Structure 1
Amino acid sequence: MNEQEKGPATPSTPAIPATPATPATPATPATPATSKTVIVVVDGFGVSAMPDAGALRPGDLAADTCGHVLDRCREAFGRPLRLPTLGALGLGLVHPHPDLARRTHLPVAVGRAALGYPGADTFAGHQTMMGADFSKVTVARLAEHLDDVTRALTDAGHRVERLDGKPLLVADGAVLVHDNLEADPGINWNASGRLDHLDAGLDFDGILSVARTVRAVAPVARVIAVGGHADGPLPEFVRDGDGGTVGLDTPATGFYRNGGLQVQHLGAESDHTRQLPDLAARAGIPVTLVGKAADILACEAAVRRPAVATAEVLAHTLEAVRAEGDSLVVANVQESDLAGHQQDVERYGRILEQVDAGLAALLSLLTGPGDRLIVTGDHGNDPTIGHAFHTREYVPVLIHRTGAPGVELLPDASSLADVGATAAAALGLDPAGLANGTEIREAATRAA
């Protein structure tokens, strides 16, 4: 992915334009014709470390994805990032950075949310945000549960052995069961196999069969079935990870660059009927899941628009919002998270500018009296912190409320589930229908 050219220098602090990015709010009719709620999750966008962020890595107490990206991009580009829409939505009221405006005249409610689940993980973050209770999901290494996993696989008819005495398993001579090395230690386990391993008769269904059996006994948030075309035998790419984990170095295998990659995420058991998309669909509200949200959220009635490229994610989101009638749209911008994993600050900054422009376009469409735009994150991913893992950070909660009075400061939400409950209330749904979460009530404090 080629880097864009750096733009010319601009004044040091971007000001909120005198005219808001969205057209003037129309007068509120007696009965709203439609109610659209759009949740845009900027993947890996944190606004400061949570108090327990240093439990795994003490240095993570210094994590600040938003602030560090703003600082480093100012140095790299010779100008501040151009984020007028995020500024107008109140990001500067959540994160006191000099490059973010401290005032806005748009009708917004702003605050931040703790994650409400262990670690820092996209899957757990989105499930929690939609109303699942992931607070009791265990962070665990496979080594601590080898006997249980071996027994489950054997009982299911799989042949199981240890790989060279290491704490990972080989099922049916072909599928590695191992710690995931790309997320925080103990968050996820993988079942990985070569789709070109023809001598073993392996296909993705065989990998998935192993993964499902592991999922039945795994205490972790996610078991991921991964199949692809590798550059060599998978044991050649096994290495030690952080926190005593041992697993497959998946990027080194060539899975991501050789084509034909197949992945399926098997999450911890939860009642999807008590999550926001299903609750909305049962109430007759059309649901669209965009980007990574289409891959990891369950809702049989939802329209799915999977995409990775930010331009494509934004285009699908705008298309869904243009449709007539009530709707719930949940979109995930994944490339911010990818930039964090790559520790590429400049790419992260450019993705934020691209998102900002997309949010301006969304605001121009969300003009109905019941419309809501909620911008948030699922965890942090500070590209300056010195490692390629997610960071455990608070995330912003920026809510544009057409027709609402002024700017309201929200109290800290204890969980991302509160974001989902707030979205449910905006759609006229009872948040009690979710398994977890409480509507974030406006604080008594009104922003100056």
Structure 2
Amino acid sequence: MSEKTVIVVLDGFGIGAMPDAGVLRPADVAADTCRHVLDHCRRILGRPLRLPTLGALGLGLVHPHPDLARHTERPVAVGRAALGYSGADTFAGHQTMMGADFSHVTVARLADHLPEVTSALTAAGHRVERLGHRPLLVADGTVLIHDNLEADPGINWNVTGRLDDLPFDRILAIARTVRSVAPVARVIAVGGHADGPLPAYVRDGDGGTHGLDTPATGLYRNGGLQVQHLGAPVDHTRQLPERAARAGVPVTLVGKAVDILTCDAAVRRPAVATADVLAHTEEAVRAPGTGLVVANVQETDLAGHQQDAREYGRVLEQVDAGLAVLVESIGRQGGRLVVTADHGNDPTIGHPNHTREYVPVLTYRPDGAGIELREDATTLADVGAATAEWLGLPPVT
């Protein structure tokens, strides 16, 4: 039997605001990525989104909506999970899901750490200056160091450059130096092709942050985007991919999971395009033998950042078709398929930031008996813990 355990993370696919979602932005109490995308697409397309596989996996049971099936004949376990970490962030979400404790992530504005960052970059041989009156830094005359405005204030910093000005490896080198002194969960190196000079897209964010309006720059839509996530120190030996690999279970990381998760023994399949993510995931599932596959669909999140509900809906339909293939393969071979998310990213909420929402946890288990409705999980860590149990991994000591 060639059983696979597959976790597909739909980046930014929330199903309703958590109770504290409005603390930072009061309007976010109305966030509901799934509902608002479905409603918007029905209005502009004149039809509901075609999501039969997500319906069969039980999405409509955990998130009732007229356009989602309220029943399924699949043996599924369905529920929703709170995030289990502060804010709404991809890196913290995936680390939590895989077993790291990110409940006490340090939140910090770049403005409060300019001397340390400047000193580190200068010592590394870079020329550093402030960007006018704002508390942002420019390295080597072209690379912008700034607060990330797409997550909650102070969770991440970005190091952004135009590939027309310098290659990505130089942007990444600057980001690594910033990472060495940054107290935040993630420093993100970003390179791509912008519509104009980056300073033209700088704006003030929430909570006293200042940064680049990355969606407005064109970096996400102009092609050639390169991103690397440099996370805070994590004991990866306690996380699901490394634990599985050490137990002799082959591990495959697909899409953005390649950048976010660490497992030296894993087969790595980087991809941004949803079609490529789905193809790599299907290939890993069809390979002989047992295995763990963790895949991230990033284009849902990108559509949220661009506040493009129609594009979000298009990606969801593409994902649904790909999930149908995975369900068929796993149904034939045995194993588990988990579809979940890391946070919300409501494209109708009025800002390009992540939204703090519950996420679905939809588990297809061919050997299961009917439908199991689960209580809300308090943390995404439950996903990794359940997967470890299915794989028969020893408990973390």
Q: TM-score, normalised by structure 1?
A: 0.82
Whether 2:101 is the aligned partner of 1:137: answer no
Task: Give the secondary-structure state (helix, strand or coil) at the position aligned to 2:135.
Answer: strand
Between the two proteins, what is the percent identity of the paired residues? 77
Q: Which moved more, 1:344-353 or 1:109-118?
A: 344-353
**Per-residue deviation, 1:368:** 6.0
Q: Which residue of 2 aligns with 1:208?
A: 172
Distance 1:236 1:294, change over 3 A: same
What amino acid does structure 1 have at the position aligned with 2:396? A
What amino acid does structure 2 have at the position aligned with 1:131? G
Task: Give the secondary-structure state (helix, strand or coil) at the position aligned to 1:211.
Answer: helix
Q: Which moved more, 1:68-77 or 1:214-223?
A: 68-77
Task: Give the secondary-structure state (helix, strand or coil) at the position aligned to 2:358.
Answer: strand
User: Does the aligned pair in 1 maintain the 2:274–2:319 contact within 8 Å?
Assistant: yes
Q: Which moved more, 1:286-295 or 1:106-115?
A: 286-295
Q: Which moved more, 1:236-245 or 1:136-145?
A: 236-245
Q: For 2:184 and 2:152, how far apart are their aligned partners in 1?
A: 12
What amino acid does structure 2 have at the position aligned with 1:94? V
Q: For 2:195 and 2:319, how far apart are their aligned partners in 1?
A: 36
Q: For 1:64 and 1:353, how far apart are their aligned partners in 2?
A: 18
Distance 1:222 1:117, change over 3 A: same
Q: For 1:296 and 1:136, how far apart are their aligned partners in 2?
A: 19
Q: For 1:257 and 1:346, how far apart are their aligned partners in 2?
A: 15
What amino acid does structure 2 have at the position aligned with 1:66? C
Task: Give the secondary-structure state (helix, strand or coil) at the position aligned to 2:383.
Answer: helix
User: Does the aligned pair in 1 maintain the 2:255–2:295 contact within 8 Å?
Assistant: yes
User: Does the aligned pair in 1 maintain the 2:215–2:306 contact within 8 Å?
Assistant: no
Q: Which residue of 2 aligns with 1:26?
A: none
**Per-residue deviation, 1:37:** 0.4
**Per-residue deviation, 1:77:** 2.5
Q: Which residue of 1 aligns with 2:327?
A: 363
**Per-residue deviation, 1:327:** 0.8
- For the aligned residue pairs, the C-alpha RMSD in angstroms reads 2.3
Matches within 5 A, 1:206-245: 206-228=170-192, 234-245=198-209
What amino acid does structure 2 have at the position aligned with 1:224? I
Distance 1:366 1:68, change over 3 A: same
Q: For 2:312 and 2:218, how far apart are their aligned partners in 1?
A: 24
Q: Which residue of 1 aligns with 2:154?
A: 186
Q: For 2:127 and 2:85, how far apart are their aligned partners in 1?
A: 34
**1:328-373 Cα distance to aligned partner (Å, 9 max, x none):** 1111112222222222222222222222222221111113685101
Matches within 5 A, 1:419-434: 419-432=383-396
Q: Which residue of 2 aligns with 1:128?
A: 96
Matches within 5 A, 1:260-409: 261-367=225-331, 371-409=335-373
Task: Give the secondary-structure state (helix, strand or coil) at the position aligned to 1:226.
Answer: strand
What amino acid does structure 2 have at the position aligned with 1:342? Q
Q: For 2:57 and 2:196, how far apart are their aligned partners in 1?
A: 49
**Per-residue deviation, 1:51:** 0.8
User: Does the aligned pair in 2 maintain the 1:118–1:138 contact within 8 Å?
Assistant: no
Distance 1:407 1:147, change over 3 A: same
Whether 2:21 is the aligned partner of 1:53: answer yes
User: Does the aligned pair in 2 maintain the 1:191–1:207 contact within 8 Å?
Assistant: yes
Pick aligned residue for 1:109 from 77, 91, 102: 77
What amino acid does structure 2 have at the position aligned with 1:375? V
**Per-residue deviation, 1:253:** 5.0
What amino acid does structure 2 have at the position aligned with 1:291? G
Distance 1:133 1:349, change over 3 A: same
**1:51-94 Cα distance to aligned partner (Å, 9 max, x none):** 11111110000011111222222222322222222122111221
User: Does the aligned pair in 2 maintain the 1:369–1:403 contact within 8 Å?
Assistant: no
Which entry has the higher C-alpha Rg, 1 or 2? Answer: 1
Q: Which residue of 2 aligns with 1:416?
A: 380
User: Does the aligned pair in 2 maintain the 1:34–1:368 contact within 8 Å?
Assistant: no
Q: Which residue of 2 aligns with 1:19?
A: none
Q: Which residue of 1 aligns with 2:118?
A: 150
Q: For 2:195 and 2:64, how far apart are their aligned partners in 1?
A: 47
Q: Which residue of 1 aligns with 2:50?
A: 82
Q: Which moved more, 1:146-155 or 1:227-236?
A: 227-236
Q: Which residue of 2 aligns with 1:42?
A: 10
User: Does the aligned pair in 2 maintain the 1:289–1:302 contact within 8 Å?
Assistant: yes
Unaligned runs of 5+ in 2: none
Q: Which moved more, 1:44-53 or 1:300-309?
A: 300-309
Distance 1:82 1:239, change over 3 A: closer
**Per-residue deviation, 1:174:** 4.2
**1:301-326 Cα distance to aligned partner (Å, 9 max, x none):** 11122222222221211111111110
Aligned length in residues: 397
Distance 1:333 1:145, change over 3 A: same
Q: For 1:261 and 1:374, how far apart are their aligned partners in 2?
A: 28
Q: Which residue of 2 aligns with 1:95?
A: 63
**Per-residue deviation, 1:267:** 0.7
Q: Which moved more, 1:394-403 or 1:289-298?
A: 289-298
User: Does the aligned pair in 1 maintain the 2:150–2:354 contact within 8 Å?
Assistant: no
**Per-residue deviation, 1:422:** 0.9
What amino acid does structure 2 have at the position aligned with 1:311? A
Q: For 2:297 and 2:192, how far apart are their aligned partners in 1?
A: 24
Q: For 2:52 and 2:357, how far apart are their aligned partners in 1?
A: 23
**1:418-442 Cα distance to aligned partner (Å, 9 max, x none):** 1011111111113426xxxxxxxxx
